[in-house]
């Protein structure tokens, strides 16, 4: 009976870890640190992101970064909100994703989102590099890996990839 309990624990561990990990893909979230979802700044920013209120998200995160510049989640979400506007300043977008990854090299949300940003500028090779990092970080798979893999597949089928 003990072996069954151990095996069941091993199978269920990845699922239980996912409950504690902060969001990553799709339409927002992307905070990658422990407890990020309980951070009031992240909650406020995610509420604005959900409404596609990029200006409010940016204002919230810019103010938060002024007082807490070493927060990888803030840099990640700020870059995300910057790249969602028409004609984003991709230099600033990459600056904040890179800062998030300097602070937390294992930040899954930042790896996913910088990979998507690289696709926006047509750099498939760099997007694949971040997918490879996510593959190592997400031993049992994760939403960030899946989302970036899907984005890369779509990009590879697009006319932009062929040019």
Q: What is the pLDDT of residue 102?
A: 98
**How large is the average pLDDT for residues 133-141?**
94
Using a cut of 0.85, tell me whether the model's pTM lies above it.
no
Q: Which residues of 33-71 are buried (b: 16+ CB within 10 A; e: fewer)?
A: beebbebebbebbbebbeeeebebbbebbeebbeeeeeb
* Tokens 């971040």 found at: 130
**How large is the average pLDDT for residues 71-88?**
98
CA distance 1 to 138: 30
In this prediction, what percent of the chain has a pLDDT beyond 90?
71
pLDDT tens track for 49-66: 999 999 999 999 999 999
Of 100, 158, 97, 96, the residue nearest 124 (C-alpha): 158
**How large is the average pLDDT for residues 115-120?**
98
Q: Which domains, ranges and CATH numbers included, belong to the chain?
A: 25-162 (1.25.40.10)
Of 66, 60, 32, the residue nearest 47 (C-alpha): 60
**How large is the average pLDDT for residues 15-20?**
32
The mean-pLDDT minimum among 31-40, 50-59, 119-128 falls in: 31-40
């Amino acid at each position: 009976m003990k072996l069954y309990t151990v095996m069941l624990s091993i199978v269920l561990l990845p699922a239980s870890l996912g409950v504690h990990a902060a969001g990553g893909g799709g339409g927002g979230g992307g905070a990658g640190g422990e407890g990020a979802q309980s951070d009031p700044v992240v909650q406020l920013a995610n509420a604005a992101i959900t409404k596609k209120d990029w200006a409010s998200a940016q204002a919230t995160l810019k103010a938060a970064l002024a007082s807490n510049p070493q927060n990888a989640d803030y840099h990640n979400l700020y870059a995300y909100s910057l790249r969602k506007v028409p004609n984003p300043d991709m230099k600033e977008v990459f600056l904040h994703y890179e800062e998030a990854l300097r602070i937390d090299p294992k930040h899954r949300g930042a790896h996913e989102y910088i990979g998507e940003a690289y696709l926006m500028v047509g750099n498939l090779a760099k997007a694949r590099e971040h997918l490879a990092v996510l593959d190592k970080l997400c031993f049992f798979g994760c939403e960030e890996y899946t989302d970036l893999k899907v984005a890369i597949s779509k990009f590879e089928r697009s006319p932009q990839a062929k040019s």
